[in-house]
């Protein structure tokens, strides 16, 4: 069988299973199977595919048809123009989070910072910041041991292991030092809303990276409280938050002596990130 025939088979199957990105996903899965770039397989659409590879491709296809995220099947996700290893123990990086990284890089360009990333997951936030802020160093903490292993692999992959440490620690753990910047993309979805998420998220992404408690603010509050004691004077706290949480989060920040400096809207014009300093 040739590439073009296989792409049609795959695309038709995913379309039947209501996967909206059926053609793109099929091409990406075949690209992974053949270990060639997507462009290469499209250009060489008459190339024959060995039966062994076709069977491997069908396994990937079966996983995707059950709504498993393409990033988990590929084992990677692009973020800040770089490829990050991901698996079911880490949240899949989102484009909205890149908006936060972008703003922080503009604010701190050329500065020398110590950064703490709370709930670092794949490490994509702190590693992207360190990639651009060449004089800075940081620590990423996560309560998932398996997520920490993924983050360490990403640090090695991007040659940043000498400037970052990833630790399997809870937020409550004692910190012996203070930071210029605390950044976090904490769980912020209300517990009761988890069931309404799309299949690929609620079935496959780690619940503890999504569930923000009854009001969605449990972890956000903890990050804000903890940041009071671990930020330097005039230090910066940068948070990703959920839709329509800005008013409640603003009040929590204000009550804890933080002053909001920037809010960042996502592509649908919702406030999704907030950057504040401690007074």
CATH number of this structure's domain 89-278: 3.40.50.150
- Yes or no: say if 259 and 276 are a contact pair by the CB < 8 Å rule: yes
Least-confidence region, from 141-145, 149-153, 265-269? 265-269
Q: Is the pLDDT of residue 174 over 70?
A: no
Q: Is the pLDDT of residue 175 over 90?
A: no
CA distance 276 to 279: 9
Q: Is the pLDDT of residue 276 over 90?
A: yes
Share of the chain above pLDDT 70, in %: 100
Q: Is the pLDDT of residue 104 over 70?
A: yes
pLDDT of residue 240: 97
Averaged pLDDT, 21-29:
97
pLDDT of residue 274: 97
pLDDT digits (tens, 9 = 90+) for 227-239: 999 999 999 999 9
Averaged pLDDT, 1-12:
96
What DSSP letter does each residue of the chain carry, written as one string? -BHHHHHHHHHHHHHHTT-TTHHHHHHHHHHHHHTS-HHHHHHTTT-B--HHHHHHHHHHHHHHHTT--HHHHHTEEEETTEEEE--TTSPPP-HHHHHHHHHHHHHHTT---EEEEET-TTSHHHHHHHHH-TT-EEEEE-S-HHHHHHHHHHHHHTT-TTTEEEE---TTS--SS-EEEEEE----B-GGGGGGS-HHHHHHS-GGGTB--TTS-HHHHHHHHHHHHHEEEEEEEEEE--TT-HHHHHHHHHHTTEEEEEEEE-TTS-EEEEEEEE-
Averaged pLDDT, 229-258:
95
Averaged pLDDT, 117-138:
97
The residue ranking higher by pLDDT, 127 or 279, is 127
Given pLDDT bands bounded at 50, 70 and 90, which one contains residue 20? Answer: very high
Q: Is the pLDDT of residue 279 over 80?
A: no
| Strand pairing report for 164-167 and 179-184 | unpaired
Sign of CA dihedral 32, 35, 37, 39: negative
Please return the burial class of 222, using the count of CB atoms within 10 Å of its CB with bins 0-12, 13-18 and 19+: middle
pLDDT of residue 171: 87
Quick one: tokens of 229?
A: 């004691």
Least-confidence region, from 123-137, 143-157, 201-215? 201-215
Averaged pLDDT, 28-35:
96
Least-confidence region, from 46-60, 133-147, 203-217, 258-272? 203-217
Query: Taking the model in full, what pTM does it have?
Result: 0.93
Which whole-number Å values give the CA distances from 251 to 187, 228, 233, 258, in the listed order?
19, 15, 20, 10
């Amino acid at each position: 069988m040739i590439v073009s025939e296989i792409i049609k088979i795959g695309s038709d199957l995913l379309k039947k299973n209501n996967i909206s990105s059926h053609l793109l996903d099929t091409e990406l899965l075949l690209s992974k199977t053949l270990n060639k770039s997507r462009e290469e397989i499209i250009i060489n659409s008459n190339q024959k595919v060995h039966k062994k590879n076709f069977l491997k491709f069908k396994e990937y296809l079966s996983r995707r048809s059950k709504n498993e995220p393409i990033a988990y099947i590929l084992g990677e996700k692009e973020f800040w123009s770089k490829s990050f290893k991901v698996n079911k123990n880490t949240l899949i990086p989102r484009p909205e989070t890149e908006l936060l990284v972008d703003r922080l890089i503009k604010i701190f360009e050329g500065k020398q910072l110590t950064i703490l990333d709370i709930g670092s997951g794949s490490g994509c936030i702190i590693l992207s910041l360190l990639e651009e802020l060449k004089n800075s160093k940081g620590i990423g903490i996560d309560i998932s041991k398996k997520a920490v292993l993924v983050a360490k692999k990403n640090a090695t992959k991007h040659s940043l292991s000498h400037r970052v440490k990833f630790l399997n620690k809870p937020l409550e753990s004692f910190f012996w030092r203070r930071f210029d910047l605390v950044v976090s993309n904490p769980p912020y979805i209300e517990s009761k809303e988890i069931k309404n998420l799309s299949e690929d998220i609620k079935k496959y992404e780690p619940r503890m990276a999504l569930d923000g408690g009854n009001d969605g603010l449990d972890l956000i509050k903890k990050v804000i409280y903890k940041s009071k004691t671990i930020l330097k004077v005039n230090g910066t706290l940068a948070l990703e938050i959920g839709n329509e949480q800005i008013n409640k989060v603003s009040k929590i920040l204000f009550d804890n002596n933080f002053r909001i400096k920037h809010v960042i809207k996502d592509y649908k014009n919702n406030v999704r990130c907030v950057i504040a300093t401690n007074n």
